């Protein structure tokens, strides 16, 4: 059963029938054309009216109040998380930003199968890093949405603020909540009555690990003590990390800190999928209101496509979509998103070119058995798409 079929009753509660059909068409266009520019979407939108009228139709759709993230998306992503993760289990939540030109997207996502699924986002009305108040405003709704799970919030050096860590530590008194924020080397720290010193003064060298407990971080008072995991990856395959990690946390062991922090790359991979690897969202020139709705459509399309890819793998049809393994690689060659995206495009191509393909198959009767297996695979993929 398709993603839209599963959640149709939810989406149709917020959209009229005409709006829902426009919603379905836009998701299809995102998948097939991998473009978010309104001009490109309008050029391909198959409504038999003038181009300028199609463009305005899409623009009006993108400013609908019904597309508010908490109402339109939260129930769906919550249901997906409940299906993919056991209630009460640990979720790794990553906060991060991506920006291009004057657009600055601040997002929180759940790490899932070496990728991430978008939960909530906002557009910052400026370039550069977010403020504490903006970080709290982004995280708070997610804490409420996922209150039945144990959460670990991850952040890179942009989110090194001890104030954010302290705010989460206070929240953890009522909810199972952990954090791991990478710190800058020049951050001051001390234990008990010792003198302050920066992290860079700890004498870390490649291959070294260290776990500090009950540490005061920064010279500002009133934030209490934290744990700090320090790690400098040793040289591997001729590559050397420029500097060590210093991770502010309330987790209890270095192994646990390193395990969760390594998962942070999932959101970076997701951003790449949404940009040049998938939907080319950095090509959008829409204003912030419409861009926010376009990101919502991308979040839905990306999540649906990733879940499709997972299903395609489970039905053992992935080999018909991509080369899954290589002798020189120990990990998977393609993500669930990639498999889901190009599996769908394979089916669309068959539907468009079926007459030509029939001629090609008839000219190669010696391969008939292989064609039959491929057609069966197409049928299975089409039913699960």
Residue 98, beta-bridge partner list: 105
Dihedrals phi, psi of 24, to nearest 5 degrees: -65, -45
- Are 310 and 335 in contact by the 8 Å Cβ rule? The answer is no
Using alpha carbons, select from 180, 183, 177 the residue that is nearest to residue 154: 180
Q: Give tens-digit pLDDT for 332-351.
A: 668 899 898 888 888 888 88
Q: Give tens-digit pLDDT for 229-259.
A: 999 998 777 787 889 999 999 999 999 999 9
What is the pLDDT, as a whole number, of residue 285? 86
Instruction: State whether residue 172 is helix, strand or coil.
Output: coil
What is the pLDDT, as a whole number, of residue 212? 93
Phi/psi region, residue 131 (left: phi>0; alpha: psi -120 to 50; beta: rest), is beta
Euclidean distance between CA atoms 162 and 366, whole angstroms: 68
**Calculated CA dihedral for residues 300, 306, 309, 315, nearest 10 degrees:** -90
Q: Delimit the domains of the chain by residue range.
A: 69-274, 317-384
Q: Give tens-digit pLDDT for 185-228.
A: 999 988 888 888 999 999 999 999 999 999 999 888 878 899 99
Dihedrals phi, psi of 20, to nearest 5 degrees: -65, -40
The CATH number of 69-274 is 3.90.350.10
Q: What is the DSSP letter of 76?
A: H
Could you tell me the pTM of the whole model? 0.91
β pairing state of 150-155 and 90-100: parallel
Dihedrals phi, psi of 335, to nearest 5 degrees: -80, 170
Please determine, for residue 132, whether its predicted confidence score (pLDDT) is greater than 80: yes
What is the pLDDT, as a whole number, of residue 78? 97
Look up tokens 């879940």; give the residue. 307
Q: Both tokens of residue 296?
A: 């919502």
């Amino acid at each position: 059963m398709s993603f839209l079929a599963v959640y149709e009753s939810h989406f149709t509660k917020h959209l009229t029938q005409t709006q829902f059909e426009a919603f379905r068409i836009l998701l299809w266009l995102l998948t097939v054309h991998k473009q978010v520019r309104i001009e490109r979407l309008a050029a391909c939108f198959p409504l038999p009216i003038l181009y300028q009228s199609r463009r305005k139709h899409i623009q009006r759709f993108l400013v609908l109040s019904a597309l508010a993230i908490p109402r339109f998306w939260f129930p769906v992503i919550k249901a997906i998380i409940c299906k993919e993760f056991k209630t009460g289990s640990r979720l790794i939540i990553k906060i991060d930003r991506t920006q291009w030109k004057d657009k600055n997207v601040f997002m929180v996502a759940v790490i899932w199968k070496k990728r991430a699924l978008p939960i909530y986002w906002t557009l910052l009305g400026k370039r550069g890093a977010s403020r504490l108040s903006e970080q709290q405003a982004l995280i708070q709704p997610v804490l409420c949405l996922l209150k039945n799970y144990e959460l670990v919030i991850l952040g890179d050096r942009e989110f090194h603020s001890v104030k954010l860590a302290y705010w989460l530590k206070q929240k953890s008194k009522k909810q199972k909540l952990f954090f791991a924020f990478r710190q800058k080397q020049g951050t001051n720290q001390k234990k008990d009555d010792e003198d302050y010193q920066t992290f860079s003064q700890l004498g870390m060298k490649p291959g070294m690990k260290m776990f500090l407990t009950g540490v005061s971080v920064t010279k500002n008072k009133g934030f209490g003590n934290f744990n700090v995991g320090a790690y400098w990856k040793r040289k591997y395959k001729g590559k050397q990390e420029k500097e060590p990690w210093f991770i502010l946390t309330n987790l209890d062991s270095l192994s646990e800190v390193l395990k969760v922090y390594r998962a942070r790359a999932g959101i970076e991979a997701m951003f790449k999928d949404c940009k040049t690897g998938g939907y080319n969202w950095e090509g959008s020139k829409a204003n912030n209101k419409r861009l926010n709705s376009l990101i919502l459509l991308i979040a839905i399309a990306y999540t649906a496509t990733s879940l499709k890819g997972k299903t395609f793998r489970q039905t053992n049809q992935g080999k018909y979509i991509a080369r899954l393994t290589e002798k020189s690689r120990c990990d998977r060659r393609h993500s669930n998103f990639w498999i889901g995206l190009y599996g769908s495009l394979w089916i669309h191509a068959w539907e468009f070119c079926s007459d030509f393909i029939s001629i090609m198959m008839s000219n190669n009767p010696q391969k008939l058995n292989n064609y039959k297996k491929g057609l069966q695979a197409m049928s299975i993929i089409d039913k699960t798409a």
